[in-house]
Amino acid sequence: MIEYIKQADESHQAHLQAMYKLIKQVFPEAEEKMAYGMPAFHEKVNAVYFGDNKKHLGFYPTPSVIEAFAERLDGYKFSKGAVQFPYNKELPKELIYDMLQYRKSELAQK
């Protein structure tokens, strides 16, 4: 995953590194792998993904997480399963952390 980040545009690397650190903080035991061409964290199932795009960092925490946090995502482009965090804005670390914790609690219930 570190190679993935190093290969990204230099102006994107700080966001990607911050996302990686947040995910590792919440999912320290998760297996890191590549899925669908992007970094994925696997704990029995693929827990979350993130990916480098031209103008944004794509975050893929599953549709249930997006639905639960829709009100807090105001101001960001998002769809059923993805959120776009623009590289020209500060990364909303607290929001992402909360979303990751929600996803972790979902997985613990399965």
Asked if 31 and 69 count as a contact pair (C-beta separation under 8 A), the reply is: no
> What pairs with residue 50 in β-bridges?
59
Give CA angle at 65 (26, 7), nearest 5°: 60
Place of tokens 């399965």: 110
**Per-residue pLDDT, 16:** 97
User: What is the rounded average pLDDT of the residues 27-53?
Assistant: 93
How do residues 11-37 score in pLDDT, each as one tens digit?
999 999 999 999 999 999 999 999 889
How do residues 70-85 score in pLDDT, each as one tens digit?
999 999 999 999 999 9
Domains of the chain with CATH codes: 2-108 (3.90.1150.200)
CA dihedral over 100, 104, 107, 109, signed as positive or negative: negative
- Supply φ then ψ for residue 35, to 5 degrees: -145, 135
pTM: 0.94
